[in-house]
């Protein structure tokens, strides 16, 4: 069974596993259709995009497949992002946000985007401009909900000063191989690398404000950079994951998802696989609730410490 979480404080409930679409540009049309139908079959109807994924190809392929499969638009939640001009700059100007959203709508072949995220903090952000862009898109029914990605608490507070809409989600890198969001809290004020606060306390901030954290690259860009199955440095983690995988009859990668979902902040994991069979495997993590001891054992086996 797929578990749902409330998206921010919107009253909209979405699967705790979102289907990331960054890696689908290489799929054939048939593979994209199978990818989407498998996800829907598993109960995963929340899809994550960005204007820049595959240079726009991901949104385009997805839109085409949804149309040719005759999927009811209302039955899926489509999230996309804007604000990056690859290799050139980050751009939260009013013009860029509106133009990017218009292009995403066209490529996705839809009248509205369910959730639009600001992809990475723009150092030159003028919150008033963002507010104007969001109001323009919201008033025209082009975007229903807004959020951010890779942002710290004060960056969000700055945006909130002018934006008249809830910022319902923040997409951050998080997982067993990249768990600074939890380790910096547990190692507060210690003289070691684990106490370094890289994200400004975003985990507690999100819980306080009911903002959904979406964990991107949950397997660290691959199955722990492709080497968890062979690399000696992952041996202790591999052993623990295998034990837990056996107990719950799920795959190792699903254990990595379950570890994220066990955290009481209402997180969504954003899956990254482009394979339909792996979507099926990962979906099984949705309602696995690891014990406290299992959660900590995995955390420690991944190389973290308890001070």
Q: Contact positions toward ligand NAP, by CB under 6 A?
A: 20-23, 48, 149-150, 171, 216-223, 253, 270-275, 278
Q: Name the active-site residue from 53, 112, 165, 221.
A: 53
CB of 65 to ligand NAP, least distance (A): 16
Q: What's the min distance (Å) between Cβ of 77 and ligand NAP?
A: 13
Nearer to ligand NAP, 103 or 135 (CB): 103
**53 an active-site residue?**
yes
Shortest Cβ distance from residue 147 to ligand NAP (Å)? 10
Output 172 or 187, the one with its CB closest to ligand NAP: 172
Nearest distance from C-beta of residue 188 to ligand NAP, angstroms:
26
Q: Which residue is nearest to ligand NAP (CB)?
A: 272
Nearer to ligand NAP, 209 or 275 (CB): 275
Q: By C-beta, is 20 or 153 nearer to ligand NAP?
A: 20
Indicate the residue among 15 and 272 with the shorter CB distance to ligand NAP.
272
Q: How far is the CB of 279 from ligand NAP (least distance, A)?
A: 9
Rounded CA-CA distance 57/59 in Å is 6
273 CB neighbour count, 10 Å cutoff: 20
Q: Do 264 and 202 meet the contact criterion of CB atoms below 8 Å apart?
A: no
Question: 10 Å Cβ neighbour count for 142?
Answer: 18
Q: Which positions are catalytic?
A: 53
């Amino acid at each position: 069974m797929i578990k749902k979480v409330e998206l921010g404080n919107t009253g909209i409930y979405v699967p705790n596993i979102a289907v990331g679409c960054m890696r689908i540009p290489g799929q054939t049309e048939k593979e994209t259709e199978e990818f989407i139908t498998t996800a829907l079959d598993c109960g995963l109807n929340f899809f994550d995009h960005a204007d820049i994924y595959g240079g726009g190809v991901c949104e385009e392929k997805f839109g085409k497949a949804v149309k040719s499969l005759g999927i009811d638009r209302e039955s899926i939640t489509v999230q996309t992002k804007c604000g990056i001009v690859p290799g050139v700059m980050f751009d939260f100007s009013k013009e860029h946000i509106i133009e990017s959203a218009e292009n995403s709508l066209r490529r996705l072949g839809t009248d509205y985007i369910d959730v639009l995220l600001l992809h990475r903090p723009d150092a030159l952000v003028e919150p008033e401009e963002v507010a104007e862009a969001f109001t323009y898109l919201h008033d025209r029914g082009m975007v229903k909900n807004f959020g951010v990605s890779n942002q710290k608490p004060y960056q969000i507070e700055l945006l909130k000063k002018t934006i008249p809409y809830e910022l319902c989600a923040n997409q951050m890198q998080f997982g067993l191989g990249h768990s600074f969001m939890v380790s910096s809290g547990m190692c507060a004020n210690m003289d070691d690398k684990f106490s370094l606060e890289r994200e400004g306390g975003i985990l507690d901030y999100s819980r306080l404000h009911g903002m959904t954290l979406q964990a991107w690259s949950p397997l660290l860009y691959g199955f722990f950079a492709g080497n968890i199955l062979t690399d000696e440095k992952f041996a202790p983690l591999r052993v623990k994951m295998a034990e837990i995988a056996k107990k719950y009859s799920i795959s190792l990668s699903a254990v990595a998802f379950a570890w994220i979902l066990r955290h009481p902040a209402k997180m969504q994991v954003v899956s990254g696989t482009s394979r339909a069979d792996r979507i099926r495997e990962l979906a099984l993590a949705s309602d696995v609730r690891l014990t406290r001891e299992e959660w900590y054992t995995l955390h420690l086996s991944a190389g973290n410490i308890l001070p």
